[in-house]
Amino acid sequence: MVRMTNNALSTVEAQIRERAAAYCESNNIPGFVAGVYHAGEQVVVAHGAANAATGAPMLEDTGFLFGSVTKVLTTTLVLQQVERGVLDLDAPAVRYLPELTLTAPGAADKILVRHLVSHTNGIDADLFFPDAKGRDALKTYVKGLAGSCGALFEPGEQLSYSNGGMIVAGRLLEAVTGLPFPELLKREVYTPVGMTDSGTSAEEAILRSTAVGHFLDPQTMAARPTSMFMLPDTWGPAGGTPIGTVADLLAFGRTHLAGGVSPSGTRVLSPESTALMQQVAFDMATPNTPPIGLGWVLYPFGDTTVLAMSGASPGGVSILCVLPEHDLVFTAFGNNPGAIMLQDQILRWLLSEHLGVQLPALITELEEDVDLTPYVGTYRSNQLRVDVSVVDGQLEERVTYEPADASQERIFTRFAGGRVCAPPQRLVPIRPGLFAPAGYPLEAFDGYLRLLLVSYHDVRAGQARFRNGGGRLTRRV
């Protein structure tokens, strides 16, 4: 790590340290680690404990699960194969993976390779957790889609955050390279980028300082370690298994800042592919779902675009943000899901105070007298049901998890820390089709937490076809 001499970065270090200590203390978050690279220098700050059960400290080089930040790594692997002429973004995925099938006849045949990494594939598998390990884990996942998962929409028609699409992309990479995904990731990303402390297994992680996730005990509100360190190997390309450090993710972010050249000078991706990942591939034109590139989510903060991806792991949350216009990378991990609020605070402080970016209010007022009837009904996606009704003049949503089998229930329940159904949520209208959870100040949605807004789309015959929560679609039934 480069130690700072820059006064501005000294202020960044002090701010992160102060904010982490205060937030973790008041919200029972055991540990937090964050890093910022800016204009040639970087700093890493660690606070608290990596494991509340053992008391192991969170260190600057403590490893953690990347979660869905992995999706940008998986997309980088796909673009490498496109550059080499092995893959064509506009070819059907079944050209390379003939066994790809969904329960909806013919639906898989329409999915292009680019749909897999732009979250526009429509695969209805967001909570599909087949339990398998080893070399054939991704093959098992794809095989399981045929009997368990359908399609939410026609490929390219909508945008819905897609774990399934990234996992299929990982299996497609295995098919065309002949290498297992973990080996390909190490050879083509970890090594050339210089991610020297990254791996994909608990067996590797146990040999060094590694954080574990925590959940708050509902009775005592004390942090307790997760009972499941990572998701099954079947979820590797979507973020289930990759592990590394803040320094590793800073190096990866810097590679994308530098047009595909790693900090050591190794060419990882071409300038054209790096730029393509940052271009808008689909825009839902709604504040709660920013435009998507290939792999990256493109968050608008005023006139500045933040390339971002956050990642949930059992009891933990990570984030990676790249700001090409300002030569800055920010990454962080907290070992309790509530740390996402701290990450949002730090990101907004970096933008407004460190970089001087003007952050306009995303939502300025609420609209009264919005007709709520088009949104009432039941919406479904894989193992999830959302019942929407009108109560006391407001929309009320009830989200219910409906496990497909005991194995999937066990995995998801442990991933979620035991809570699988949220309490009813009241929504207040911002405008037709866009709602905010009741009780939040409007400024809360100016940053990363705009994902808490809920939108409804494609109103036909007086009824919305889709509900969008957290960037994920459910379809009216």
For position 1, what pLDDT does the model report?
Answer: 34
> CA-based Rg of the chain, rounded to a whole angstrom?
21
- CA separation, residue 169 to residues 50, 100, 119 (Å): 32, 11, 11
By three-state DSSP, how is residue 48 classified?
A: strand
Cα maximum dimension of the chain? 63
Q: What is the pLDDT along the chain (477 residues), one digit of tens a residue?
A: 333 346 789 999 999 999 999 999 999 999 999 999 999 999 999 999 999 999 999 999 999 999 999 999 999 999 999 999 999 999 999 999 999 999 999 999 999 999 999 999 999 999 999 999 999 999 999 999 999 999 999 999 999 999 999 999 999 999 999 999 999 999 999 999 999 999 999 999 999 999 999 999 988 889 999 999 999 999 999 999 999 999 999 999 999 999 999 999 999 999 999 999 999 999 999 999 999 999 999 999 999 999 999 999 999 999 999 999 999 999 999 999 999 999 999 999 999 999 999 999 999 999 989 999 999 999 999 999 999 999 999 999 999 999 999 999 999 999 999 867 779 999 999 999 999 999 999 999 998 889 999 999 999 999 999 999 999 999 999
- CA separation, residue 76 to residues 245, 295, 352, 466 (Å): 19, 8, 30, 30
Give the whole-angstrom CA distance, residue 3 versus residue 6.
9
For position 454, what pLDDT does the model report?
Answer: 98
CB 147 within 8 A of CB 103: yes
For position 220, what pLDDT does the model report?
Answer: 85
DSSP one-letter code for 422: P
Residues contacting residue 344 through CB under 8 Å, at least 6 positions apart? 447, 448, 449
Burial class (CB in 10 A: 0-12, 13-18, 19+), 230: buried
Give the whole-angstrom CA distance, residue 75 versus residue 424.
36
Give the whole-angstrom CA distance, residue 193 versus residue 265.
9
Q: For residue range 374-403, list pLDDT tens digits in order.
A: 999 999 999 999 999 999 999 999 999 999
CA atoms within 13 A on the CB side of 19: 23
Residues contacting residue 48 through CB under 8 Å, at least 6 positions apart? 20, 24, 29, 30, 31, 32, 57, 58
Output the CA angle 451-104-380, nearest 5 degrees: 35
- CA separation, residue 280 to residues 300, 346, 347, 467 (Å): 12, 25, 22, 22
Give the whole-angstrom CA distance, residue 54 versus residue 64.
16
Give the whole-angstrom CA distance, residue 22 versus residue 14.
12
CA dihedral 338, 309, 129, 375 (to 10 degrees): 80
Q: For residue range 289-313, list pLDDT tens digits in order.
A: 999 999 999 999 999 999 999 999 9
Give the whole-angstrom CA distance, residue 401 versus residue 127.
9
Q: For residue range 52-102, list pLDDT tens digits in order.
A: 999 999 999 999 999 999 999 999 999 999 999 999 999 999 999 999 999
CB 399 within 8 A of CB 127: no
Find residue 396's DSSP bridge partners.
389, 426
CA dihedral 254, 257, 258, 264 (to 10 degrees): 0
- Helices and strands (H, E) in the chain, number of each type: 12, 19
Strand 41-51 to 377-381 pairing: unpaired
For position 6, what pLDDT does the model report?
Answer: 60
CA dihedral 225, 228, 231, 232 (to 10 degrees): 160
For position 219, what pLDDT does the model report?
Answer: 84
Give the whole-angstrom CA distance, residue 141 versus residue 223.
33
- The DSSP string of 204-273 is HHTTS-B---EEE-TTT--EEE-S-SS--GGGGGGTSS-EE-HHHHHHHHHHHHTTTB-TTS-B-S-HHH
For position 3, what pLDDT does the model report?
Answer: 39
Residues contacting residue 437 through CB under 8 Å, at least 6 positions apart? 425, 426, 427, 428, 452, 453, 454
* Domains in the chain, CATH or no CATH each: 1-360 (3.40.710.10), 373-476 (2.40.128)
Backbone angles phi, psi at 119, to 5 degrees: 60, 30
Give the whole-angstrom CA distance, residue 228 versus residue 417.
9
- The DSSP string of 127-145 is T------STTHHHHHHHHH
Give the whole-angstrom CA distance, residue 393 versus residue 259.
51
pTM: 0.96
Burial class (CB in 10 A: 0-12, 13-18, 19+), 141: buried
- The DSSP string of 148-165 is H--BSS-TTT-----HHH
